Structure 1
Amino acid sequence: MSPLSPRCITYFDCLRFLLAQTVVVGHGFGFFFGYWGGFFPSKAPYIQSIAVVGFFFVSGFLICRSAVANIKYKGGDYVRYYVDRLSRVYTTLAPCLIFVFLVDLFFSYQVSDFELGDNLTISTFFKNLLLLPSMPFGTMRPIWSLMFEWWIYILFGGVVFFRKNWIFSAICIGVGGYYTWRLQDLSATRLLN
């Protein structure tokens, strides 16, 4: 497997940027123009739902390709894979949680009926920090997506590196699969209520 060309990398970066912006714009229209009558409209899925699936698909392809290339060219192993995933996720997650806490705390004092401030608890903060299935911390609603991605990363790493350390991989597959399905159940429960 040869490395991706600079042109191909630029294409995938632009595609992911476009999909991410489609999610933001779609949610913005929903927020400002109030079309949240259900998860899917009656005739077609929301554009942001299609963009999220597209983003997951493209990211999954790139991560899979990266993991295989690291194994082939750099002798990559599960330690390198998980350190890479940890550093990519937590360099933004931890500062975002702190930022959301400060902003939500400020607004909870300014707005008397600040509903989203109900989840500003230490327990929710640490569950979100560990990406465990839970309610989003304060106004940090998009974290549900990161929770899915994180546990799929764990599951995927277990599958890819199964031959190198089958005990560790079996644990990753079990824990990753459990929390991925747990998130699915939690999301479905929230939609029904």
Structure 2
Amino acid sequence: MKPALSLYLDAVRFTAAMVVYLGHLALASEPSFVSPGFSATFSGLSACIDEAVIIFFVLSGFVIAHATAARPTTPEAYATARLARLYSVALPALLATLVLDMLGRAIAPAFYPPFAPQPFLGALLFLNQLWYIDVGAGSNGPYWSLNFEFWYYVLFGMILFLRGWQRVAAVLATLLVCGPQIALYSLLWFAGVGLHGLTQRLRLSQGLGLGLFLLGPVIFFLAVNHPVPGEAFMLDRLAWLLRDSNILHDSVIALAFGMHLLGCHSLAAWLEAPLSAIARPLRWLAGSTFTIYLFHMPLSRFLAAVLPTPPGPWSGPLLLALGFPLLLAIAAVTERRKQPWVRLFTAAFAPFRRPAQAAPVGGTNHLRPGQPPPGHAATG
């Protein structure tokens, strides 16, 4: 992967995480976060939270495709890498949500949903969005997307390592277990996989690349602010299947981001100098993306519970000033410390390891010597 594109992906995933974070803090419908001036300033971000998650899905498919194409891998190594990435942040986030919700509920019970232990077990196993279950883990609303993301890793692994009828049967069985919602949105995740393939094969002129780079955000803005043609018809006719999801709108968002990223790939030479100048802080901030995404809601709600009530103009800025440094500190012991999890899953898969079963995957590793591939986003 071109270094400039890698840095740009880091910038995109950090920006998307901050959109989700600030958008949630600005939600006027959240009684614990009411802050008139802050909400007015960032209300536009509140309208883009779902779109940011769609960007995470596309970006995740793109990065996983790159990671598996850059070097041969085995089923055990693939599973180890994906599970270590997930559980290094997901398990601490669930534990933190349990503890912070318990403490916060004792202080401000009105800020919290009723406690139920079962959703936490379901979240740990990524079962809470199968079919139409839609169960949240306490105050950690953003965790829902990991219940999609996990199954996309499973599907991609099956496609990567299985062959023939076994691949078809395994994929169909998994989609049947997941249900229509996860199955439909897998198209957006796999669009990221296809986008990675296009960047390896297409050679766009810089003029066309610039056009795509600029047109993508225009389409994104239009889709956020205006109904997509045919959207109401689809929602009306397929409400029994789609429920509260809007796959047509989200597909347009994915298309817009894909166009922008394809254009970015062709303009990498132009982006090299400005992005290289901020490479170190950018990579460091991007290394906190998953933690920001998964910890910000339980942490922010707890901070709101312990701060003086009722919330006022000061509460939004104060929640951000207290919460953001804490999230960066938490990232230092979660996603920046994946090696213990890698060792754990490596040991767990050791009895199944078959050294000769490296998957023949295509692609060329364009990373600089010693440069890590970009991490995947949270779904998220």
Same fold at TM > 0.5: yes
TM-score w.r.t. the length of structure 2 is 0.40
Given that 2:19 and 2:52 are in contact with CA atoms closer than 8 Å, whether structure 1 keeps it comes out as yes
- Cα 1:95–1:180 shift into 2, 3 Å: farther
Q: Secondary structure at the match of 2:126?
A: coil
- Cα 1:89–1:83 shift into 2, 3 Å: same
2:51 alignment partner AA: I
Aligned equivalents of 1:125 and 1:20: distance in 2?
Answer: 23
- Cα 1:149–1:177 shift into 2, 3 Å: farther
What is aligned with 2:63? 62
- Cα 1:92–1:81 shift into 2, 3 Å: same
Aligned equivalents of 2:156 and 2:123: distance in 1?
Answer: 21
- 1:19-58 aligned at under 5 Å gives the runs 19-31=16-28, 32=34, 46-58=47-59
Shift of 1:173: 5.3
Given that 2:112 and 2:139 are in contact with CA atoms closer than 8 Å, whether structure 1 keeps it comes out as no
Unaligned runs of 5+ in 1: 35-44
What is aligned with 2:173? 174
Aligned equivalents of 2:59 and 2:176: distance in 1?
Answer: 21
Aligned equivalents of 1:13 and 1:82: distance in 2?
Answer: 23
Match of 2:107 among 80, 95, 110: 110
- Counterpart check, 1:140 vs 2:137: no
**Cα shift readout 1:56-76 (whole Å, capped 9, x = no counterpart):** 212211111212223xxxx31
**Cα shift readout 1:103-130 (whole Å, capped 9, x = no counterpart):** 10011222243442x1x33321110111
- Counterpart check, 1:160 vs 2:155: no
Aligned equivalents of 2:97 and 2:122: distance in 1?
Answer: 15
Moved more, 107-116 or 142-151: 107-116
Larger relative contact order (Cα-Cα within 8 Å, sequence gap ≥ 6): 2
What is aligned with 1:97? 94
Shift of 1:55: 2.1
The structure whose Rg is larger is 2
Q: Secondary structure at the match of 1:30?
A: coil
Q: Secondary structure at the match of 1:138?
A: coil
Q: Secondary structure at the match of 2:26?
A: helix
Shift of 1:170: 4.0
**Cα shift readout 1:126-173 (whole Å, capped 9, x = no counterpart):** 10111112511110110111111111111121112222x964784365
- Cα 1:173–1:157 shift into 2, 3 Å: farther
Aligned equivalents of 1:177 and 1:33: distance in 2?
Answer: 44
1:131 alignment partner AA: F
Given that 2:78 and 2:157 are in contact with CA atoms closer than 8 Å, whether structure 1 keeps it comes out as yes
- Cα 1:33–1:169 shift into 2, 3 Å: farther
Aligned equivalents of 2:16 and 2:109: distance in 1?
Answer: 36
2:108 alignment partner AA: V
What is aligned with 1:80? 77
Given that 1:157 and 1:169 are in contact with CA atoms closer than 8 Å, whether structure 2 keeps it comes out as no
Aligned equivalents of 1:138 and 1:99: distance in 2?
Answer: 11
Identity over aligned pairs, percent:
28
What is aligned with 1:15? 12
2:178 alignment partner AA: Y
Given that 2:101 and 2:112 are in contact with CA atoms closer than 8 Å, whether structure 1 keeps it comes out as no
Aligned equivalents of 1:54 and 1:86: distance in 2?
Answer: 21
What is aligned with 2:118? 123
- Cα 1:176–1:63 shift into 2, 3 Å: farther
Q: Secondary structure at the match of 1:113?
A: helix
Q: Secondary structure at the match of 2:68?
A: helix
Shift of 1:84: 0.7
Aligned equivalents of 1:83 and 1:177: distance in 2?
Answer: 25
TM-score w.r.t. the length of structure 1 is 0.74
1:161 alignment partner AA: F
Aligned equivalents of 1:112 and 1:11: distance in 2?
Answer: 42
1:148 alignment partner AA: F
